Structure 1
Amino acid sequence: MIYRLATTTSTNDEARDARYRHGDVVWAERQTAGRGQRGHVWHSPEGENLTFSLLLEPQFLPIGEQFLLSEAVALALTDMFAHYGIATRIKWTNDIYAGDRKIVGMLLEHNCSGPTLARSIVGIGINVNQAAFDPALPNPVSMAQLTGRTFDREEVLRTFLERFALRYEQLRQGDRETLQTDYRTRMYRLGERHTYRLPGQGETEGIIEGVRPTGELLVRHTDGTLGEYLFGEIEFVIGAKR
């Protein structure tokens, strides 16, 4: 069920309420304390974009395989954009890019029960109809900017949920190979040489070769070594963000 709110602190915070069950969506027009990865604040003009959280209960999924859920969500988003004729790629770990510009940010939060996940909250922000962004933001883009048209946001949300249901079923059925193969082929900068930043160590060049089922990014460095990086251990250098 979709719960549409005028205002909340954060849809992820709201979705923690026990009244929400598997498959429920909390959609807010305004978040007073929206957040993204690394503690970043998420701002979105009212009535232009989609900011929502999807509540899941993936009790079949071992804790060590939680990244597969992130893969399923990211793939569903790229499936949804393809439906609207927008080519996108998955920027590890949880962003969706159109070219070199960010169109989606995600924040996944999990609660565990023994060796498996119990409840997962998938917070998603999709730039839908926003025509102008704060110049201080490095590289945002919206569906409207890419296509020159305005979208029905509820239709976009329902299209995503339809695509996600298919990807979630692949996960539930244990079809990990399809998820991992599709995720790899849609990775941003896959097989290309680029500059990356290793916090505390400086910049390095390398080629993304893929990602482990446990979430480590695989980067082949110029000296031939293969680096395996978890979230926070490597950063992309993109245009002005250098």
Structure 2
Amino acid sequence: MKIIKLDAIDSTNSFLKELGKNSVLENFTVAVTSNQTNGRGQQQNTWASKPFKNLTFSVFTRFKNLGIHQKKHLNFAISLGIFDAISTENLPKLSIKWPNDILSENKKLCGILIENSIKGSKINSSVIGIGLNVNQIEFPDHIKSVSSLKKETEKEYDLDPLLSKIISKIKERITLLNDKQFQHLENDYLNVLYKKNIPTMFKDSNNVLFMGMISGVSKEGRLQITLEDDLIKEFDIKEVAIL
């Protein structure tokens, strides 16, 4: 594992992707910065983080023989790796919100952005961007339902050992992925999935509210919601919000 420490950068994902254009990256190369100025999240969202307080980093990894159709299991592996790393910190009601936010109760601790390099029908490699709120305790007023490890545990964290632990746990989950332990990954993911089998209010892309229960994730990675008439409907990430 090679760790590249950057003083300040717009995006560690962009840095690793650019670096990979001009050189052969060692597997599990990590780019980490104490000051990310333009972090990116899902659906063109930005990731705001106070300098020197949190972990903002990206990981480059290759795969042995991972099909595009197995993409959801890559998502399971990465989110579970981070979940595993912080699950010993006595965080209340730790869960994974579909597709890959890490929550304590209903407050977001961590966001993940996975950008894949495709070759034919295979995912050749990925750059995985991770933003974990660690020691930051104050957040902008417009950012709702967000927290940090320190806010939840009242402990100050040393960032370097925490980073090493997260990378180690991600490696363990990627090993399961490369060994085709897909059902193992899926079972573990569904066991900690936020709001699974709990009656919940949702909002669709037309701003229509409806009740249902999260029942699983489809082969294509869509969220499966069981409606009041027992019909199971599937949604892509831009098609539904969990309220």
Give yes or no for TM over 0.5.
yes
Cα distance per residue 1:36-82 (max 9 Å; x no partner): 11111111111000000011112410011111111001111111111
Structure 1-normalised TM-score? 0.95
CA positional deviation for 1:21: 2.8
> 2:67 corresponds to which residue?
62
For 1:192-211, what aligned pairs fall within 5 Å after superposition?
192-200=198-206, 202-211=208-217
- Tell me how far 1:212 sits from its aligned partner: 2.2
- Is 1:42 the counterpart of 2:47? The answer is yes
Q: 1:226 aligns with which of 213, 229, 232?
A: 232
Q: How many residues align?
A: 237
Match of 1:115 among 112, 121, 136: 121
Equivalent pair of 2:64/2:178 in contact (CA under 8 Å) = no
How far the C-alpha of 1:30 sits from its partner, in A, is 1.5
Quick check: 2:36–2:51 contact (8 Å CA) kept in 1? no
2:163 match: 157
| Cα distance in 2, alignment partners of residues 105 and 119 from structure 1 | 20
Equivalent-residue separation in structure 1 for 2:130 and 2:99 (angstroms): 13
Distance (whole Å) between structure 2 residues aligned to residue 157 and residue 140 of structure 1? 20
Could you say if the C-alpha distance between residues 104 and 198 of structure 1 is closer, same or farther in structure 2, counting changes exceeding 3 Å? same
AA partner of residue 16 (structure 2): A
Residue 142 (structure 2) pairs with residue 136 (structure 1): yes
Q: Moved runs in structure 1, 4+ residues, more than 2 A? A: 83-87
Note if contact 2:10-2:39 (Cα within 8 Å) is conserved in structure 1.
Answer: yes
Q: What is aligned with 1:106?
A: 112
TM-score (normalizing by structure 2) = 0.94
User: What is the aligned counterpart of 2:175 among 151, 169, 177?
Assistant: 169
User: Unaligned 5+ residue runs, structure 1?
Assistant: 238-242
Corresponding residue of 2:77: 72
Equivalent pair of 2:77/2:177 in contact (CA under 8 Å) = yes
User: What's the counterpart of residue 240 of structure 1?
Assistant: none
Question: 1:60 touches 1:172 (CA, 8 Å); kept in 2?
Answer: yes
Asked if structure 2 preserves the Cα contact closer than 8 Å seen for 1:180 and 1:213, the reply is: no
Within the candidate set 212, 219, 222, 2:218 is matched to 212
Amino acid corresponding to residue 186 of structure 1 in structure 2:
V
